[in-house]
Amino acid sequence: MLRKIKIGFDAKRAFVNTTGLGNYARNLLYTLIDNHLDTFEIYLFHSGKNLYFDENRLKHCHWIKPQSFLEKLLFRQFGVNFSIQSLSLDIYHGLSMEIPLFIRHLNPKVYVIATIHDLLFFTLPRDFSLWDRTIHQLKALYTGLHANHIIAVSSYTKNEIQRILNPISKEISVIPPFFRISSKIPCEEASLTLPNKYFLCVASYMKRKNQGFLMQTFLNEDFEQDVFLILVGHGSERERLKQAFQSHPKFKQLIFIDSLTNEQVSTLMNKSIAVIYPSIDEGFGMPIIEASIICKKIIIPEIPVFFELKNAFTVFYKPQDSIDLASKMKLILEEFNSNKTDTLGFEYQLEHSLNDLIHVYNDFST
């Protein structure tokens, strides 16, 4: 019997993050745990508490916390090296771009993989504080120099990696994120008070997410009083936008929700007129797949990364063109009012991502 491949993951996001990076990490790990425990021995590195990782699946993994003083010293950035060494890992996978400092020197036999979701801190620096973008840029450059293999979540991100980082390793695989979404929506309406007609936007509040443009477009159009815009997300930008628009006579048609469970978001999507994702730029576009899986139209700008996800449910508008966006919203509203909804269905090819990922993991032995 062949021994299992020992693989370690930077699991901080999987344990404590509820946005895209956390969902990416959990979905990838859940898929491995559910399908490949006979192949992989899974080690999860995280020094804090577990807030969101499924406890039943966690029982099938090794949760590695820092023990000695040396390990506790910048655990994710450096201290994890000592556990990697003592466990004789075969692979280390940084799920959110970060790999430990000096890992190639202290653990030369370990195959180092990193997932890079985007490089927006290079291309849209104004969306990040000076400190955050400097740290992100340094981490990305270090990963480009020292990872054996880089996983990009889209072809667009791969091109950006090659253009900006010019990584030493030319091994870059495009593996879209894993999704664990069923087209059968759980009923969560008891905990949600929903209007009958609403557009939905789900995104953290950052300038590149462009909620201000969406809000202005919605408020300046002559939508009926029974049509609302629900915005789900949190961030400092939200309060600034609320203050900017609160004097508008139609402000009451905006509904702000701080955070919801994944099941509640799915319910909101399912009941909406359409989902709108107005980002200026992205590394992928999870809401596009999430909406498409449940047969819901999603209105998105014509930016390169979104064209990779084009399907029967995507509706494109010209970036920053409020007239074009409003016309697409009204068109879909007419379809909604007449019950002309497309139920053809959309299948996200989870197997393709899983097979490609396993292929990358098997590369360590070649």
For a pLDDT cut of 70, what percent of the chain falls above it? Answer: 92
Q: Radius of gyration over alpha carbons of the chain, in Å?
A: 22
Residue 20 pLDDT greater than 70, yes or no:
yes
**Residues with Cβ < 8 Å from 109, sequence gap 6 or more?**
none
Strand 149-152 to 172-174 pairing? parallel
Spatial CA neighbour of 7 closest among 362, 350, 366: 362
The model's pTM? 0.88
Mean pLDDT to the nearest integer, 292-319: 91
In angstroms, what CA-CA distances link 355 with 3, 178, 362? 20, 11, 11
What was the pLDDT predicted at 87? Answer: 96
Report residue 351's pLDDT band, with 50, 70 and 90 as the boundaries. low
Strand ranges across the sheet with 149-152: 62-64, 40-45, 5-10, 91-94, 111-116, 149-152, 172-174
Report residue 258's pLDDT band, with 50, 70 and 90 as the boundaries. confident
Residue 343 pLDDT greater than 90, yes or no:
no
Question: CA 161: distance to chain centroid?
Answer: 17
64 against 351, higher pLDDT: 64
Mean pLDDT to the nearest integer, 22-37: 93
What are 171-213's pLDDT values in tens digits? 999 998 887 654 444 444 446 788 999 999 999 899 999 999 9
What are 151-166's pLDDT values in tens digits? 999 999 999 999 999 8
Q: What is the mean pLDDT of the chain?
A: 89
Mean pLDDT to the nearest integer, 333-354: 70
Residue 345 pLDDT greater than 60, yes or no:
no
What was the pLDDT predicted at 187? Answer: 47
The number of beta carbons lying within 10 Å of the beta carbon of residue 122 is: 17
What are 43-63's pLDDT values in tens digits? 999 999 999 999 999 999 999
What was the pLDDT predicted at 247? Answer: 95
**Residues with Cβ < 8 Å from 55, sequence gap 6 or more?**
none
Domains and CATH numbers, the chain: 5-179+350-365 (3.40.50.2000), 189-337 (3.40.50.2000)
User: Token pair 């309406």 is at which residue?
Assistant: 189
d(CA 263, CA 34): 20
What are 78-123's pLDDT values in tens digits? 999 999 999 999 999 999 999 999 999 999 999 999 999 999 999 9
**What is the longest distance spanned by two Cα atoms in the chain?**
71
What was the pLDDT predicted at 350? Answer: 60
